[in-house]
Structure 1
Amino acid sequence: MQHDKDAAVVDTGNKARRWIIYVAGIYILTLGLSLAIRAGIGISPQSSLTRTMTLVLPPLTQGNFNLILEVIMLVLTFLIWPRNFKASNLLSMVPALVLALLLDFNLMVTEWIHLEPYAANLVLLFFADAMLALGLFLMIRANLVLMPIDLFVNTIQQKTGWKWGNIKTVFDCTLLALSASIGLMFLGAPHFIREGTIINAILVGQYVKLYFFLYGKYAARKAPAPAVAE
């Protein structure tokens, strides 16, 4: 959800262009996720859960588990507020499927990345979070379909009136707790939850804010100057 001050950044023009921006955003986001995983010093709550599940049930990929999680969120969205659920909400599974496919593709493409020095992995994580945030920014800018997870959070916000950011924080903490619990039960210890998880939680939001700011500056510079009355 964006504030009014960010409304000028949202694209409301040609739909074909917006879909191109949206898919490009998904690709960049999944590449950022893949690089964050290759950094090996902790990943986001959602990614840590789906990544942990690949160790518990190795035949399935992270993209598979990401898609399963999105399906669960869509079902929960319906159960929370059936009257508010629209048939068009089912379209959110299309970008979710694209994201799952691109995530597995980018994990395969980045499989060769193994960095030894801790500093190099830290730099890689900073870069990965910047890419992840850029993907999010492009998807927000395209102003098209919400992913089921975001739809779920939005539905709770609309039904309860609670602040969106607070709901998202509780949601992320729940996923983190699930990831840690599953890791303890099936693997003997939590996996993929480290300092990088905290870095991701802080940096991604700040990067997105930066992209909004930079685009706002660019749009203001590109806008035609107001006519001067004679």
Structure 2
Amino acid sequence: MKYIFYVVGILILTLGISLTIQSKLGTSPFDALLVGLSKNVGLTVGSWEIILALLLIGSNSLLARKKPEILGLITALITGIGIDMWLFLLHDVVSPDILFSQAVCFTTGLVIVGLGTATYLHTNFAPIPVDRLTLIIKELTRKTIFFSRTLIYLLFFMLAIFFNGPIGVGTLLTVCFGGYILHFFMPITGRILDNILNKS
């Protein structure tokens, strides 16, 4: 049952990511970096998700002083495939052109990202390397998830600018509120999933 929620959480997360990309208002700094690399270097957005995951797995191993979490690559593979799948399915269906519809698309995507991330993280099975990095920084700094998430967003923000990723007002909103939304959903999804898993 836990693994079902793991996959469902990732599918929810990748839907949210794709909606923020389609909104054209700017994406999270990490996703902006993926899109920038895809447009300027080649390969799909999902492919870069997998490539960067490999680099982050190595970095996380050094920071946590533990063996590399190879299972994180499985999550990155599912995430990369999910992003490419949703972008393909939403390409002609969700393509807002006016500001109001773009704002609705982005806001919906941002909330869905937080929900999906909180859902799959609670299963404690092979987090996406960037989310594992969030938890590692939280432990090292003894700060909140909000603090560690925002710190990571700022790092990828600078990299996204360098690779000419889709930086916009949505990027700023993600930096300001992405960590807070995740922090909000973590206890809620935790209670719901614990209740379901305990009953099963």
Q: Same fold (TM over 0.5)?
A: yes
Residue 204 of structure 1 is matched in structure 2 by: 178
Q: Residues 153, 52 of structure 1: CA spacing in aligned structure 2 closer, same or farther, 3 A cutoff?
A: same
Paired residue secondary structure (2:91): coil
Paired residue secondary structure (1:192): coil
Structure 2 CA distance for aligned equivalents of residues 49 and 203 of structure 1: 19
Q: Residues 153, 28 of structure 1: CA spacing in aligned structure 2 closer, same or farther, 3 A cutoff?
A: closer
Q: Is 1:118 the equivalent of 2:99?
A: yes
From 21, 27, 50, give the equivalent of 1:43: 27
Structure 1 CA distance for aligned equivalents of residues 38 and 173 of structure 2: 23
From 88, 99, 120, give the equivalent of 1:139: 120
Q: Residues 162, 132 of structure 1: CA spacing in aligned structure 2 closer, same or farther, 3 A cutoff?
A: same
Residue 76 of structure 1 is matched in structure 2 by: 59
From 3, 8, 11, give the equivalent of 1:27: 11
Q: Residues 144, 111 of structure 1: CA spacing in aligned structure 2 closer, same or farther, 3 A cutoff?
A: same
Alignment of 1:48-67 (within 5 A): 48-58=32-42, 60-67=43-50
Q: Residues 134, 157 of structure 1: CA spacing in aligned structure 2 closer, same or farther, 3 A cutoff?
A: closer
Larger Rg: 1
Structure 2 CA distance for aligned equivalents of residues 96 and 168 of structure 1: 18
RMSD of the alignment, in Å?
2.6
Q: Residues 163, 55 of structure 1: CA spacing in aligned structure 2 closer, same or farther, 3 A cutoff?
A: same
Q: Structure 1 residue 142: deviation in Å?
A: 1.9
The number of residues matched between the two structures is: 193
Q: Is 1:194 the equivalent of 2:174?
A: no
Unaligned runs of 5+ in 1: 1-16, 184-190, 223-230
AA aligned to 2:167 is: I
Q: Residues 157, 136 of structure 1: CA spacing in aligned structure 2 closer, same or farther, 3 A cutoff?
A: closer
- Asked whether the 8 Å contact 2:153–2:175 carries over to 1, the reply is no
Structure 1 CA distance for aligned equivalents of residues 110 and 151 of structure 2: 21
- Asked whether the 8 Å contact 1:18–1:143 carries over to 2, the reply is no
Larger deviation, residues 142-151 vs 198-207: 198-207
AA aligned to 2:98 is: P
- Asked whether the 8 Å contact 2:53–2:76 carries over to 1, the reply is yes
- Asked whether the 8 Å contact 1:153–1:164 carries over to 2, the reply is no
AA aligned to 1:77 is: N
Q: Structure 1 residue 92: deviation in Å?
A: 1.3
TM-score, normalised relative to structure 1: 0.74
Q: Is 1:170 the equivalent of 2:134?
A: no
- Asked whether the 8 Å contact 2:122–2:186 carries over to 1, the reply is no
Q: Structure 1 residue 146: deviation in Å?
A: 2.1
TM-score, normalised relative to structure 2: 0.84
Structure 2 CA distance for aligned equivalents of residues 164 and 218 of structure 1: 22
- Asked whether the 8 Å contact 2:23–2:106 carries over to 1, the reply is yes
Structure 2 CA distance for aligned equivalents of residues 96 and 123 of structure 1: 27
Structure 1 CA distance for aligned equivalents of residues 39 and 3 of structure 2: 34
From 38, 54, 75, give the equivalent of 1:95: 75
Q: Structure 1 residue 128: deviation in Å?
A: 1.0
AA aligned to 1:151 is: R
Residue 180 of structure 1 is matched in structure 2 by: 161
Structure 1 CA distance for aligned equivalents of residues 153 and 159 of structure 2: 10
1:88-132 deviation digits (Å, cap 9, x = unpaired): x21111111111111111111111122221111101111111211
